[in-house]
Amino acid sequence: MPVPKRKRSRARRDSRHANKFIKVKSFGACKNCEEALLPHQVCKNCGHYKGKKVMTPKTERAAKRLQTRQTQAASRQTRMQAQQAEESKAE
Ligand SMILES: [Zn+2]
């Protein structure tokens, strides 16, 4: 019969038992968007807490940033075109 070569150290044994008490965390759903949510935390998906909007989520901020960047680029382009047209008139 195969027998272990060495005694398992206390540390090894206890680290195995450390997993014994892990529990699945309790979680609910966001009232606004039905996203899975840990209790007493703001919804990261829609920024709601207890049915009220308390912050703008990361995705919304990113979308807004992208929009402002695009409008800035567009205005810059029209400005450049106007400048070029003026220069060509002057020549
Ligand atoms: Zn939500």
Give pLDDT tens digits for 34-58. 999 999 999 999 999 998 999 999 9
The confidence score (pLDDT) of residue 81 equals: 93
Q: What is the pLDDT of residue 67?
A: 96
**Residue that has been written with the tokens 């009220």 in this structure:** 52
| Per-residue tokens: 14 | 């206890």
Chain centroid to CA 40: 18
Strands 36-37, 28-29: parallel, antiparallel or unpaired by DSSP?
Answer: antiparallel
DSSP-H helix ranges across the chain: 10-17, 58-90
pTM: 0.51
Tokens for 50, please give them. 């207890």
CB 51 within 8 A of CB 41: no
pLDDT of 49? 94
Dihedral angle, C-alpha 37, 41, 45, 51, nearest 10 °? 90
Distance 65 CA to ligand 1 centre (A): 21
pLDDT at res. 9: 97
Residues 6+ apart with CB under 8 A from 46: 30, 32, 33, 35, 53, 57
How much distance in Å is there from the Cα of 42 to the middle of ligand 1?
A: 8
Tens place of pLDDT for every residue, the chain, 91 residues? Answer: 999 999 999 999 999 999 999 888 889 999 999 999 999 999 999 999 998 999 999 999 999 999 999 999 999 999 999 999 988 887 7
Spacing, Cα 30 to ligand 1 middle (Å): 5
